[in-house]
Amino acid sequence: MSRLSRAAPFFLSLVAALALADKQSPANIILFIGDGMDEHQITMARNYLYGADGSLFMEQMPLRSSARVQTLREDNPQQFRYVADSANTASTLATGQLTSIGRIATSAATDQDQSTILEAAQKAGLRTGLVSTASLTDATPAAFATHTAHRNCQSPTDMTKAIGYAAATQQCLADQHSRGGKGSIAEQLLTANIDVLLGGGKRYFAQSSKGTDLQKTAASHGYTLLSRRRELLETNPNRKLLGLFSPSHLPVEWIGTDNRRAEPIALNWLGEPHFPEPFSCVENPDHRETPTLKEMTSAALTQLSADNSKGFFLMVEGASIDKQAHRRNPCGEIGELHAFDQAVRAGRQFTKAHPNTLLIVTADHGQAGQIVPLPEYFLGWGDNQYPPGYYAVLKTRTGESMAVSYATNAPPNGQSELHTGVNVPVYLEGTDGANVPQLMDQRQINRLMLDHLGLQLSAD
Amino acid sequence: MSRLSRAAPFFLSLVAALALADKQSPANIILFIGDGMDEHQITMARNYLYGADGSLFMEQMPLRSSARVQTLREDNPQQFRYVADSANTASTLATGQLTSIGRIATSAATDQDQSTILEAAQKAGLRTGLVSTASLTDATPAAFATHTAHRNCQSPTDMTKAIGYAAATQQCLADQHSRGGKGSIAEQLLTANIDVLLGGGKRYFAQSSKGTDLQKTAASHGYTLLSRRRELLETNPNRKLLGLFSPSHLPVEWIGTDNRRAEPIALNWLGEPHFPEPFSCVENPDHRETPTLKEMTSAALTQLSADNSKGFFLMVEGASIDKQAHRRNPCGEIGELHAFDQAVRAGRQFTKAHPNTLLIVTADHGQAGQIVPLPEYFLGWGDNQYPPGYYAVLKTRTGESMAVSYATNAPPNGQSELHTGVNVPVYLEGTDGANVPQLMDQRQINRLMLDHLGLQLSAD
CATH number for the domain spanning B89: value is: 3.40.720.10
Residues B130, A361: Cα–Cα separation, whole Å: 39
Query: Are A408 and B387 a contacting pair at CB < 8 A?
Result: yes
pTM: 0.94
Neighbours of B428 (CB within 10 A): 21
**CB hemisphere CA count around B75 (13 angstroms):** 5
Residue pair A281/A253 in contact (Cβ under 8 Å)? The answer is no
Separation of alpha carbons B306 and B195, rounded Å: 12
Sign of the alpha-carbon torsion through A119, A248, A328, A45? negative
In a domain, A148, yes or no: yes
Verify whether the Cβ–Cβ distance B409 to A399 is below 8 Å: no
Closest CB to A410: pick one of B61, B386, B398.
B386
Residue A192 has what pLDDT?
Answer: 96
Q: Which position among A5, A25, A86, A132 bears the catalytic label?
A: A86
Contact (CB<8Å) A79/B388: no
Chain B within 8 Å of A64 (Cβ-Cβ)? yes
- Number of CB pairs < 8 Å for A and B? 260
Window 356-385 of B: residues touching A by CB (8 A cutoff) are 366, 368, 370-374, 377-378, 380-381, 383-385
Q: What is the pLDDT of residue B239?
A: 86
Q: Are B372 and A409 in contact (CB under 8 A)?
A: no
Catalytic-residue membership of A86: yes
Given a contact cutoff of 8 angstroms between Cβ atoms, the answer to whether A40 and A371 are in contact is yes
Where does residue B248 rank: exposed (0-12), middle (13-18), buried (19+ CB within 10 A)?
middle
C-beta neighbour count of B427 within 10 angstroms: 23
Pairing of strands A273-274, A266-267: antiparallel
**What residues form DSSP beta bridges with B266?**
B274
Mind listing the pLDDT tens digit of every residue in chain B (460 residues)? Answer: 344 444 444 454 554 445 444 456 899 999 999 999 999 999 999 999 999 999 999 999 999 999 999 999 999 999 999 999 999 999 999 999 999 999 999 999 999 999 999 999 999 999 999 999 999 999 999 999 999 999 999 999 999 999 988 999 999 999 999 999 999 999 999 999 999 999 999 999 987 545 557 778 888 899 999 999 999 999 877 789 999 999 999 999 999 999 999 999 999 999 999 999 999 999 999 999 999 999 999 999 999 999 999 999 999 999 999 999 999 999 999 999 999 999 999 999 999 999 999 999 999 999 999 999 999 999 998 899 999 999 999 999 999 999 999 999 999 999 999 999 999 999 999 999 999 999 999 999 999 999 999 999 875 4
Non-local CB neighbours of B79 within 8 Å, separated by 6+ positions: A399, A400, B72, B73
**Cα–Cα dist B291/B245, whole Å:** 8
Q: Is residue B271 part of a domain?
A: yes
User: Do B150 and B103 touch, CB atoms closer than 8 A?
Assistant: yes
Closest among A210, A227, A221, A212 to A188, alpha carbons compared: A221
Q: Indicate yes or no: CB of A59 within 8 angstroms of CB of B439.
A: yes
Tell me the C-alpha to C-alpha distance, in Å, between residue B425 and each of A34, A89, B82, B241: 20, 23, 17, 31
> In a 10 Å sphere around its CB, with 0-12 CB exposed, 13-18 middle and 19+ buried, how is residue B277 labelled?
exposed
pLDDT at residue B25, as a whole number: 83
Tell which of A82, A393, A396, A451 to mutate to test the B interface (max B CBs under 10 Å): A82
**DSSP assignment string, B148-171:** BS-TT--SGGGGGS--TTS-GGGS
Chain A nearest CA to B399, separation (Å): 9
Strands A357-363 and A312-318: unpaired
Any idea what DSSP says for residue B277?
P
Among partner residues B4, B64, B422, which is closest to A64 by beta-carbon distance? B64
DSSP label at residue A36: T
Asked if residue A11 is part of any domain, the answer here is no
Residue A228 belongs to some domain of the structure: yes
Which amino acid belongs to residue B216? K
Q: DSSP states of A69-104 as a string?
A: --EEETTEEEEEESS--HHHHHHHHHHSS--BTT-B
- Rounded to the nearest angstrom, the gap between the alpha carbon of residue A349 and the centroid of all alpha carbons in its chain is 20
| Count: domains in chain B | 1
Q: Is residue A3 part of a domain?
A: no
Q: Give the separation between CA B200 and CA B220, rounded to whole angstroms.
A: 20
B441 chain-A contacts, CB cut-off 8 A: 53
Touching check for A266 and chain B: CB below 8 Å? no
In angstroms, the separation between the Cα of residue B163 and the nearest Cα of chain A is 12
- Closest alpha carbon within chain A to B65: A64
Q: Is position A404 within any domain? A: no
3-state SS, residue A4: helix
Report the residue of B24, B422, B448 to disrupt the A interface, i.e. the one with the largest count of A CBs within 10 Å.
Answer: B422
Reported ipTM: the value is 0.94
Gap between the Cα atoms of A162 and A151, Å rounded: 13
Query: Are B197 and B130 within 8 A, CB to CB?
Result: yes
| A385 → chain B, closest CA residue | B414
Q: CB count, 10 Å around CB of B36? A: 30
Work out the end-to-end distance of chain A between its first and last CA atoms, rounded to an integer number of angstroms. Answer: 47
Report the candidate in B364, B291, B362 with the shortest Cα–Cα distance to residue B143.
B364
Domain assignment present for A274: no
Q: Where are the alpha helices (DSSP H) in A277-386?
A: 293-305, 320-326, 330-353, 375-381
Nearest in space to A131 (alpha carbons), one of A199, A60, A47:
A199
Residue B189 domain flag? yes
Q: What are phi and psi of A271, to 5 degrees?
A: 80, 10
Please identify every residue of B annotated as catalytic: 86
Dist CA B392 CA B375 (whole Å): 10
pLDDT of residue A303: 96
The pLDDT profile of chain A, 460 residues, written as one tens digit per residue, is 344 444 444 454 554 445 444 546 899 999 999 999 999 999 999 999 999 999 999 999 999 999 999 999 999 999 999 999 999 999 999 999 999 999 999 999 999 999 999 999 999 999 999 999 999 999 999 999 999 999 999 999 999 999 988 999 999 998 999 999 999 999 999 999 999 999 999 999 987 545 557 778 888 899 999 999 999 999 877 789 999 999 999 999 999 999 999 999 999 999 999 999 999 999 999 999 999 999 999 999 999 999 999 999 999 999 999 999 999 999 999 999 999 999 999 999 999 999 999 999 999 999 999 999 999 999 998 899 999 999 999 999 999 999 999 999 999 999 999 999 999 999 999 999 999 999 999 999 999 999 999 999 875 4
Phi and psi for A44 in degrees, rounded to 5? -60, -45
Which residues on chain A are in Cβ contact (under 8 Å) with B82?
Answer: 47, 52, 371, 400-403
Distance CA A129, CA A193 (A): 10
List Cβ<8 Å contacts ≥24 apart for B13-17: B14/A4, B15/A2, B15/A4, B15/A5, B15/A8, B16/A5
Q: Which domain holds residue A351?
A: 25-35+69-256+292-363+425-453
- What pLDDT score was predicted for residue B39? 98
Report the C-alpha gap between B76 and B320 in whole angstroms.
31
